[in-house]
């Protein structure tokens, strides 16, 4: 299968190249040249008695990856990726009552849904690099969550060095320790004396430094990488197979920030999965909510909320939906985005809005309602949910098609990762799973460096394996 750019001005690439490239050279994002066609019935027919998550993953992903690896290799990589998940079902589906379900995506090593994609992407990177006899240095900046998921996915891989910059003293202690207590010679944590934006600027400068970029074979695994979206399509099929509602209709509600997770759901639908509604939950940073309500998107400044992983200004994966809305015409996408950069506003036609609202709806859930939702779920079911998950549940309950159609809400983080909000809402302290019992006793490894490009660069040159 070949992949094309959403801006129509980059070469078509095969899977291995798309995996390692990330962003297309025209600034666009890669998507499959055409969507493979699948149904729940096809998948279950191929599975016979084995119906575990890994088996479903192989069925869903093989058309996307077959240029690069065969079905048996894919199965081996997926098996290894999901061995690190602590729940026997990997991604369990729990009933919350009233035909409402919670899809728990947070049983991976760093307790957030990003592990589902990154654990597999780490395996795919290592496989592809070993085949090419290459090595890379992944650099990234984090304000907390993504860094730990990326580190865990890349640790102990001989083909990869990973360097993560975080703002010194500005992440929570749990977040910092999840990154800095990883003992692996290819993991390099750097605390920058500055803000998250300073960290991001340093990373950008590295990518613009052609000599350094080429010498280090720099790479990124941020959320625009197609392989991450691809890996996330699996659990939409998995939930549908597990529920198998008689007429196959399902609503999915997804707490959204960069729009990668819910776009993966829409990708499954474009492949053939029956979905009656996609419900986008946002916090007070409601750029996406405003778009789905009014057809207009305007950048504003970010306000901090109880669901920090969704405090995002411009949802980068939105470009992929725009490409599909515009009949996959890259030049139209390019023009619309150029206009957005110029005016700070993006507006679609009324007819396009009517069309989009047939499948999509959205709600803005503020911090108060998030807390009330956490309290309500606890009272009704005894389950503690994290604030991101609560945003999705509240949006889903408000916008679902009907109680006859199952509503699947995506659980994106373990409640133990955001204890303050959960305690505030319920008075109960969510426990961290067992594997973290000694997190506070483990030795940390990180270097504190000034916000200075040359110093950071020479530190990286010395630290990586070479």
114 part of the interface to ligand PLP, by CB under 6 A: yes
In whole angstroms, the minimum distance from the beta carbon of 76 to ligand PLP comes to: 27
How many CB atoms neighbour CB 62 within 10 A? 16
Of the candidate spans 26-34, 37-45, 249-257, 442-450, the one that interacts with ligand PLP by CB under 6 A turns out to be: 249-257
Using CB under 6 A as the binding rule, whether residue 192 contacts ligand PLP is answered as no
- Of 241-249, 258-266, 268-276, 375-383, the segment contacting ligand PLP by CB under 6 A is 258-266
By CB under 6 A, name the one of 257, 265, 406, 415 that touches ligand PLP.
Answer: 257
Task: Say which of 94, 114, 379, 428 is annotated catalytic.
Answer: 114
What's the Cα-to-Cα distance from 288 to each of 26, 31, 285, 358, rounded to whole Å?
25, 21, 8, 16
User: Burial letters for 203-237: b for 16+ Cβ neighbours within 10 Å, e otherwise?
Assistant: beebeeeeebeeebebbbbbbbbbbbbbbbbbbbb
Pick from 189, 256, 276, 426 the residue near ligand PLP by CB under 6 A: 256
d(CA 215, CA 201): 20
Q: Is 109 in the site for ligand PLP (CB under 6 A)?
A: no
Check binding of 258 to ligand PLP (CB under 6 A): yes
Report the residue from 3, 30, 82, 259 that binds ligand PLP according to the rule CB under 6 A.
259
CB of 2 to ligand PLP, least distance (A): 25
Rounded least distance, CB 244 to ligand PLP, Å: 26
| Least distance to ligand PLP, CB of residue 123, Å | 20
Distance CA 434, CA 54 (A): 24
114 belongs to the catalytic site: yes
Distance CA 279, CA 265 (A): 11
Query: Which of 413, 421, 422, 464 forms a contact with ligand PLP (CB under 6 A)?
Result: 413
Do residues 382 and 426 touch, judged by C-beta distance below 8 A?
A: no
Contact 314, 287 (CB under 8 A): yes
Nearer to ligand PLP, 241 or 310 (CB): 310
Nearer to ligand PLP by Cβ, of 127 and 436: the residue is 436
Q: Which is nearer to ligand PLP, 262 or 449 (CB)?
A: 262
**Residue with smallest beta-carbon separation from ligand PLP:** 258
Q: Nearest 5°: phi and psi at 117?
A: -80, -45
How many residues form the binding site for ligand PLP (CB under 6 A)? 16
Give yes or no for residue 221 binding ligand PLP (CB under 6 A).
no
Kindly identify the residues of this chain, within the stretch 363-402, that bind ligand PLP according to CB under 6 A.
Answer: 388
Q: Please, is 49 exposed, middle or buried when counting C-beta atoms within 10 Å of its C-beta (0-12, 13-18, 19+)?
A: exposed
Cα angle value 380/381/387 (rounded, 5°): 90
Does residue 255 touch ligand PLP according to CB under 6 A?
A: yes
Token pair belonging to 269: 């639908």
Dihedral sign from CA coordinates of 432, 258, 282, 305: positive
CB of 256 to ligand PLP, least distance (A): 4
Tokens found for residue 401: 């098609």
The yes or no reply on residue 416 touching ligand PLP (CB under 6 A) is no
Q: Is 145 in the site for ligand PLP (CB under 6 A)?
A: yes
Is residue 136 a contact partner of residue 126, using CB atoms and an 8 Å limit? no
Residue 260 touches ligand PLP, criterion: CB under 6 A: yes
C-alpha–C-alpha distance, residues 338 and 346, integer Å: 10
When the beta carbons of 127 and 323 are compared against ligand PLP, the nearer one is: 323
310 binds ligand PLP (CB under 6 A): yes
Degrees to nearest 5, angle at CA 8 with 7 and 12: 120
DSSP secondary structure code for residue 435 in this structure: G
Is residue 126 involved in binding ligand PLP (CB under 6 A)? Answer: no
Q: Which residues bind ligand PLP (CB under 6 A)?
A: 112, 114, 145, 223, 255-261, 309-310, 388, 412-413
The catalytic residues are 114
């Amino acid at each position: 299968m070949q992949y094309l750019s959403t801006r129509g001005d980059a070469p078509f690439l095969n899977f291995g190249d798309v995996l390692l490239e990330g962003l297309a050279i025209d600034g666009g994002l890669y998507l499959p040249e055409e969507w493979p066609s699948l149904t729940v019935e096809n998948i279950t027919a191929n599975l016979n008695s084995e119906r575990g998550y890994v088996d479903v993953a192989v069925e869903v992903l093989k058309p996307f990856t077959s240029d690069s690896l065969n079905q048996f290799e894919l199965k081996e990589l997926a098996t290894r990726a999901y061995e690190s998940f602590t729940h026997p079902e990997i991604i369990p589906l729990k009933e919350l009552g009233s035909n409402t379900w919670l899809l728990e995506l947070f049983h991976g090593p760093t307790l957030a849904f990003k592990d589902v994609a990154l654990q597999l992407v780490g395996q795919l990177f290592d496989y592809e690099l070993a085949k090419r006899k290459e090595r890379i240095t992944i650099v990234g900046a984090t304000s907390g969550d993504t860094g730990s998921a990326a580190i865990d996915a890349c640790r102990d891989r001989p083909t990869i060095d990973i360097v993560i910059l975080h703002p010194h003293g500005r992440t929570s202690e749990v977040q910092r320790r999840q990154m800095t207590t990883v003992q692996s010679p290819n993991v390099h944590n750097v605390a920058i004396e500055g803000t998250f934006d300073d960290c991001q600027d340093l990373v950008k400068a590295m990518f613009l430094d052609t000599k350094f970029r080429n010498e280090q074979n720099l790479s990124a695994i941020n959320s625009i990488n197609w392989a991450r979206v691809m890996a996330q399509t699996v659990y939409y099929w998995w939930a549908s197979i597990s529920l198998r509602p008689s007429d196959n209709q399902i609503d999915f509600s997804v707490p959204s920030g960069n729009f990668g997770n819910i776009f993966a759901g829409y990708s499954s639908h474009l492949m053939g999965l029956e979905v009656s509604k996609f419900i986008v939950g946002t916090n007070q940073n409601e750029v996406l909510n405003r778009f789905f309500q009014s057809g207009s998107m305007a950048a504003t400044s970010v306000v901090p909320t109880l669901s920090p992983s969704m405090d995002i200004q411009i949802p980068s994966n939105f470009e992929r939906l725009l490409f599909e809305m515009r009949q996959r015409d890259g030049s139209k996408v390019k023009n619309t985005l150029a206009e957005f950069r110029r005016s700070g506003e993006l507006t679609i036609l009324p007819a396009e809005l009517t069309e989009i609202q047939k499948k999509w709806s959205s709600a803005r859930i503020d911090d108060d309602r998030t807390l009330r939702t956490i309290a309500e779920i606890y009272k009704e079911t005894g389950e503690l949910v994290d604030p991101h998950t609560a945003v999705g549940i509240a949006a889903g309950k408000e916008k679902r098609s009907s109680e006859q159609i199952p509503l699947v809400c995506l659980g994106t983080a373990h409640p133990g990762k955001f204890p303050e909000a959960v305690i505030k809402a319920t008075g109960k302290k969510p426990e961290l799973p067992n594997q973290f019992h000694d997190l506070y006793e483990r030795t940390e490894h990180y270097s504190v460096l000034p916000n200075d490009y040359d110093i950071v660069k020479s530190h990286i040159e010395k630290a990586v394996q070479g």
